[in-house]
Amino acid sequence: MNLILSITDQGNRLTVVFVQVDVFRQRITGEAENLVASFFPNKLLELDHFLKSVCVVGHRLQDPILNICELKEIHSEINLTVPDPILLSNLHDGLEAQNAKKRKMEDGTSEDKVAGTKVFIMPSGMMKSNTKLVDLIEKVKPEIRTLIEKCNTVKMWVQLLIPRIEDGNNFGVSIQEETVAELRTVEGEAASYLDQISGYYITRAKLVSKIAKYPHVEDYRRTVTEIDEKKYISLKVIVSELRNQYVTLYDMILKNIDKIKKPRSSNAEALY
């Protein structure tokens, strides 16, 4: 009797689990079909409009914009003044220079090293980032995250539609697998865009530290400007790629929607 009750309870629990899994499948299906039918085309038009925003002469990037007139509009001033030069006099008739040379020979190093300026605190407080680029990055990052999340949902939907493995009649299944592979590729590329953004901050921080240590070297200051311009162009390319990926996914899924939903027309009962 106890054994029968145990088997019955186990069967009830399995039934509840199957129902919950079926509800999950239905929710994923509804979300994915809405993404393909509505979200993807609307988002690609939104990104295309963002890319083609026309700048106004004299515009100072009060709003993030990807079509400025001149790159100098995204430049950021580096408020690190050049200190006055310090004149050193030899008060020991060359003894210091001789001792320094002797110590250098004992150490076995003959390379001249420039120590630079010791930095204990920034004269104007914390060195700010390029606020114009930060505003633009903060607008682009959510778009990257959205693409990753939506691709993951659609990918799960297509994977759930793949039928069990059988001999023959697998043309529709190959289309499903190709779609999943494309969605996975888009996810990986979008994730790499986030790595590029963090890499920009690290590179710029190192250059600004160099400027603080070697304030007399103009090339470091120019390099920061070049890095900012390069990042601006990179952000524009990223938004363009996001738009193109939405277009590609929308076109690919729409053209093959019948095979994706029903890969084996003669064996509909084989679907999970």
* Mean pLDDT, each 10-residue run in order, the chain (272 residues): 60 79 91 95 93 59 68 82 62 48 51 54 72 93 96 95 83 92 96 94 92 87 93 94 96 94 67 44
Give residue 270's pLDDT.
Answer: 45
Structure token pair of residue 235:
């952000």
Distance CA 253, CA 29 (A): 14
| b/e burial code for range 242-254 (CB count within 10 A of at least 16 → b) | bbebbbebbebbe
Structure token pair of residue 114:
């420039």
Whole-number Cα distances in Å, 38 to 30, 41, 43, 160: 12, 6, 9, 21
Closest CA to 178 of 236, 263, 107: 263
Distance CA 180, CA 28 (A): 15
DSSP letter (8 states) at residue 87: -
DSSP letter (8 states) at residue 17: H
Closest CA to 82 of 208, 212, 206: 212
The SS3 assignment for 59 reads coil
Structure token pair of residue 134:
């930060």
Distance CA 212, CA 206 (A): 10
Backbone φ, ψ for residue 192 (5° rounding): -65, -25
Structure token pair of residue 210:
């160099």
Structure token pair of residue 208:
């600004």
| The model scores a pTM over 0.85 | no
| b/e burial code for range 5-18 (CB count within 10 A of at least 16 → b) | eeeeeeeeeeeeee
Cβ count near 23 (within 10 Å): 10
Give residue 53's pLDDT.
Answer: 72
Distance CA 237, CA 241 (A): 6
